[in-house]
Amino acid sequence: MKYDLSIIGLGYVGLPLALQFAKSGCRVLGLDIDPGKVKEIEAGRSYIRHIPAEDVSGQVNAGRFLASSDFSMVKNSEAVLICVPTPLNKNREPDISYILKSGDAIAPYLRAEDGGRKKLVVLESTTYPGTTDEDLRKALEKGSGLKAGIDFHLAFSPEREDPGNPQSKVAEIPKVVGGLTPACLERAKELYGKAIKRLVPVSSTRAAEATKLMENIFRSVNIALVNELKIIYGSMGVDIWEVIEAAKTKPFGFMAFYPGPGLGGHCIPIDPFYLTWKAREFGHTTRFIELAGEINTAMPDHVVAKVGEALNTVGKPLKGSKILLLGLAYKADVDDDRESPSYILIEKLEAKGARVDYHDPYVPAIRPSREHSHLAGRKSVQINSLADLVLISTEHAPFKGHNFLELNVPLVDTRNCVLPANRPKLYFQA
């Protein structure tokens, strides 16, 4: 069977992208090294909360979407999109191994069939400028014996997923595209034009890579700013949330960002440091990025201190106290717990002798991960009155409407989540 495109990596980026192309009439092959994901798709089920199962089953049953772990099947695809993780290693340096392994896996199958058109490879994973035209290109050329821009097309188009946002539709989000050559760009535009309404072409793969980093650095720096102001204003008796609501009424020159217990998700805590690392190669330091990182990384310590202060009001020490943490996902109403600050809070609280349980309606159990493997297997508990303190880390909708009035222990709210009418007597913001 012939496919219009293959998508490597069927996670929070790859799966919705695959479904959008399939809905647009394309034949899509989804590839993932996780056989569990492949089986779920074959059965017409979704493993991501905000993606309805009927969206998956509809495209599978129509024959437009097939999943597999056999990467040799890309030989039957006209294009290959790479949507794999780009984490930081233990030294907070870029880890592009998933990109390079994907390149190695598909390289032997890049030669166009007799009479067929040149294959297109597009990287969507967020990374530093130069990854596509240097690192990935080298892997593809070495493994195939072909030349990028001559024997096959190569491009970069950054993902712009916003999980859990009902207004975020893949087809509606403008797509930045940069090609290795003008011909590569045109081929990438032709492909994405089948599924995305508006394309934003740029001059090179590096410009496209830099665009994605700028978007996430902008968010990281501004979140750090409001996190710092939250602490300063709080010491003055000023409510940062009230200030933000007032400031955002200005119709120009202001964009609202909100504080929290730290940064989460696979993008904002990680992506800016890809540029920090690459900038050193050119003799530059990224002072804003690094300062923002320091402020955002310190927020869990601020929350732990607030928890200790709240417990002191009822005469209890942090050591030995039982804490119920509400929200393990990194943002509201999703099941995505990657890089969630809740994990840091659990670890820091337990390091000080507290006992921590968590409740999250969307994350029933902690899955194995590289960063927090020692927490794997813990399960969500019910909201109850057995804890010595309740800590809200994620503003899930059920928490916003929950009536905490009868709670007889301190409630520490890091998200301004609880409505004023539902706040208990012992209510603290952090």
What gap in Å lies between CA 179 and CA 149, rounded to an integer?
9
Strands (E) across 245-395 are located at 322-326, 355-359, 389-392
* pLDDT bracket for residue 114 (50, 70, 90): low
371 pLDDT above the threshold of 80 = no
pLDDT at residue 112 in the model? 83
Mean per-residue pLDDT, 128-153: 97
78 pLDDT above the threshold of 80 = yes
In order of 89, 228, 327, 349, 358, the CA distances from 375 in angstroms are 19, 30, 15, 13, 11
Beta bridge partners of 178: 156, 202
pLDDT at residue 115 in the model? 64
Helix (H, G, I), strand (E, B) or coil at 154: strand
Q: Which of 292, 98, 129, 307 is nearest to 205 (CA)?
A: 129
DSSP code string of 70-106: -GGGGGGBSEEEE-----B-TTS-B--HHHHHHHHHH
167 pLDDT above the threshold of 80 = no
Mean per-residue pLDDT, 112-129: 89
Mean per-residue pLDDT, 317-345: 95
Residue-wise pLDDT for 233-283, tens only, equals 999 999 999 999 999 999 999 999 999 999 887 788 889 999 999 999 999
What gap in Å lies between CA 85 and CA 34, rounded to an integer?
13
What gap in Å lies between CA 49 and CA 376, rounded to an integer?
20
Would 5-203 and 231-429 be classified into the same CATH topology? Answer: yes
Q: What are the catalytic residues?
A: 267
Residue-wise pLDDT for 14-35, tens only, equals 999 999 999 999 999 999 999 9
* Domain residue ranges in the chain: 5-203, 231-429
Mean per-residue pLDDT, 347-371: 93
Beta bridge partners of 199: 175
Mean per-residue pLDDT, 90-115: 90
In CATH, which superfamily holds the domain spanning 231-429? NAD(P)-binding Rossmann-like Domain (3.40.50.720)
Mean per-residue pLDDT, 327-351: 95
251, two tokens: 């119709």
Q: Which of 299, 303, 219 is nearest to 257 (CA)?
A: 219
CATH T-level fold of 5-203: Rossmann fold (3.40.50)
**pTM for the full predicted model:** 0.93
Helix (H, G, I), strand (E, B) or coil at 246: helix
Mean per-residue pLDDT, 84-108: 94
In order of 55, 154, 300, 314, 408, the CA distances from 307 in angstroms are 42, 51, 10, 12, 15
